[in-house]
Amino acid sequence: MAKKLYRSRRDSKLFGVCGGIAEYFDTDSTVVRLIAIILLFASFGWAVLIYLAAAFIMPRDDGYIDV
């Protein structure tokens, strides 16, 4: 079964984008959040627009497990 990228409901701080990316890549969400903070400063604010776009484009996890 193919993995799908969703905003996380369980590991959400703001919109759940970093938590969803961490679940998709099977990594710790703290690492993804640290990378997002580094990108925020390195991109002079463009990362905020990308994050907000991802928050509105990515679907929210419905909590159901496909079997």
Residue ranges of the domains in the chain?
17-57
End-to-end CA distance of the chain: 10
d(CA 41, CA 34): 11
Nearest to 54 by CA among 19, 22, 12, 17: 17
Distances (CA, A) of 59 to 30, 44, 56: 21, 27, 8
- Per-residue pLDDT of 2-44, as tens digits, reads 778 888 888 778 888 998 889 889 999 999 999 998 998 998 8
- Per-residue pLDDT of 38-62, as tens digits, reads 998 998 888 888 889 988 998 887 7
Return the amino acid letter for 27: T
Query: What is the reported pTM?
Result: 0.79
Question: E strand or H helix at 22, and its extent?
Answer: helix 17-24
